[in-house]
């Protein structure tokens, strides 16, 4: 058995005697030129591919009959897609034999629903009939960004990461509106501004490219000013 596009195929048998060597005839049931070099098995297409192999007694120069070796090339499953639900769980589009990874390190979780406990880059892959898919899209998970100003004052932006829309909620004494400035983490340039935003607003940032941003939330008099790191998918 092999998986589609598998780079090497392991053959678990050898010649029967020290003076014997395996000889390969490729996919030729008859004719052809025998070679002691193991062929490069073609795994680009799924299905059963037949190769033919025999033995040669190197001291006597005698060749055995050839036998057929069937290699069943199985399809590689499609890589899952990772999304996030409203409860903050990461969801895999595929639920079959999953392996989750955080920053490239394999985790113990194997379920289709996964609640991260730490910020990081999360990926998942699925395995079917022993064939593993490519990794899913990387999902950069950050905990909900909230800044506590006091026991009853806060600034909160959700979700993080976000796709196009960002929710802002806040309680800041003496202020009913806040200003929002978005800066590119890569260049430091200001890329978006929203002025006079009230608590509970849903803001669209569909004009931004996917990436990492710093969002500064400040009062109109700048006596309150805080910056949060956000990821746009």
Residues of the chain with pLDDT > 70: what percent? 98
Please check whether residues 162 and 180 belong to one and the same domain: yes
C-alpha to C-alpha distance for 185 and 204, rounded to whole angstroms: 19
Answer for the pair 111, 98: CB distance below 8 angstroms, yes or no.
Answer: yes
pLDDT digits (tens, 9 = 90+) for 205-217: 999 999 889 899 9
Closest alpha carbon to 120 in 90, 149, 146 = 90
pLDDT band of 18, cuts 50, 70, 90: confident
- Domain CATH for 164: 2.60.40.3080
Please check whether residues 206 and 222 belong to one and the same domain: yes
pLDDT digits (tens, 9 = 90+) for 56-93: 988 888 888 999 999 999 999 999 998 877 677 889 99
Q: How many domains does the chain divide into?
A: 3
**Six-digit token pair at 129?**
């009939």
Q: In the block, which residue shows the tokens 């490069």?
A: 40
Please check whether residues 136 and 170 belong to one and the same domain: no
pLDDT digits (tens, 9 = 90+) for 140-154: 776 656 788 888 899
Average pLDDT, rounded, for the chain: 88
Please check whether residues 12 and 70 belong to one and the same domain: yes
Please check whether residues 135 and 156 belong to one and the same domain: no
C-alpha to C-alpha distance for 140 and 49, rounded to whole angstroms: 41
Residues of the chain with pLDDT > 90: what percent? 45
Residue 133: per-residue pLDDT: 93
C-alpha 4 chain-centroid distance? 19
Please check whether residues 157 and 204 belong to one and the same domain: yes
Given 141, 160, 181, the domain boundary residue is 141
Q: In the block, which residue shows the tokens 């070679």?
A: 35
pTM exceeding the 0.85 threshold for the entire prediction: no
The range of the structural domain enclosing residue 48 comes to: 2-74
**Which has more pLDDT, 35 or 19?**
35
Please check whether residues 53 and 90 belong to one and the same domain: no
Please check whether residues 149 and 223 belong to one and the same domain: yes
């Amino acid at each position: 058995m092999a998986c589609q596009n598998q780079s090497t195929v392991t053959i678990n048998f050898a010649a029967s005697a020290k003076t014997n060597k395996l000889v390969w005839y490729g996919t030729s049931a008859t004719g052809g030129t025998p070679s002691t070099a193991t062929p490069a098995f073609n795994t680009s297409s799924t299905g059963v591919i037949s190769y033919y192999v025999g033995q040669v007694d190197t001291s006597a120069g005698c060749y055995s009959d050839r036998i057929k070796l069937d290699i069943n090339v199985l399809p590689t499953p499609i890589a899952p897609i990772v999304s996030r639900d409203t409860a903050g769980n990461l969801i895999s589009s595929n639920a079959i034999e999953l392996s989750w990874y955080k920053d490239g390190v394999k985790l113990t979780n194997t379920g289709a629903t996964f609640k991260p406990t730490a910020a990081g880059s999360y990926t998942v892959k699925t395995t079917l009939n022993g064939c593993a898919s490519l990794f899913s899209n990387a999902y950069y998970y950050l905990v909900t960004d909230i800044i506590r100003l006091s026991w009853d004052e806060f600034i909160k932006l959700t979700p993080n990461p976000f796709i196009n829309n960002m929710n802002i909620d806040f309680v800041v004494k003496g202020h009913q509106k806040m200003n929002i400035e978005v800066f590119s983490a890569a260049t430091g340039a200001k890329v978006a501004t929203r002025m006079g935003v009230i608590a509970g607003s849903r803001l669209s940032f569909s004009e931004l490219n996917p990436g990492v941003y710093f969002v500064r939330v400040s009062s109109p008099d700048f006596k309150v000013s805080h910056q949060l790191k956000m990821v746009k998918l």
